[in-house]
Amino acid sequence: MTQDVELFIAIAEIAGVFVGFGALISLTRKNAIDFPQLGRLRGVVSVGLVVIVAALIPVGLSRYGVTDRDLWFVCSIIFLFLVWAQIILSLRKLEYRELLTKQTLGSPIGSMFFWIMLEAPIHVSLVLAIIGIYPDLEPAFYTTALLFHLFEATFLLVQIVNYQMKPSTNPQDQEESHVLVH
């Protein structure tokens, strides 16, 4: 676990940057954020917070003497619980369920990428760590889940940035940009 401590702390620091970016964007553009963007911002912040907590759980538990199989079993259960709590809490509101449906129908490839290439490896890795059939790989499974969850935050942040780069369809915004450019 000693070599993992520095890695997990570094992952938590990176996730903290994503949380900070999300918070900064929400503060600087709070009047210009539409509902889909707000959902993505909340996603970046909540995913980042889960990564921070999940990265620090093994560090904290190992200080109490929890090691090896017990450490990765407990950490993986907590991490999986946090991921599912995040999903359930985000989908409990009707408007977020409708937004997810709209985004899935509007960009099926992006949705498939998110759920198959990012979300599925998190669950598979954590379940493998919980089951314990490859005890030597449990730290790797846990690290894989952390990294893929961090990749989700990256994916959501890229969507926010790409959305911000789209030209506005609002005529007033186009007039303002014309004045600013010339």
- Tokens in use for 88? 């359930």
**pLDDT tens column, 61-84:** 998 999 899 999 999 999 999 999
Secondary structure (DSSP) of 109-173: HHHHIIIIIIIHHHHHHHHHHHHTSSGGGHHHHHHHHHHHHHHHHHHHHHHHHHHHHSPP--HHH
Which pTM value belongs to this model? 0.80
pLDDT of residue 50: 92
Domains of the chain, by residue range, sit at 2-160
**pLDDT tens column, 42-56:** 888 888 899 999 999
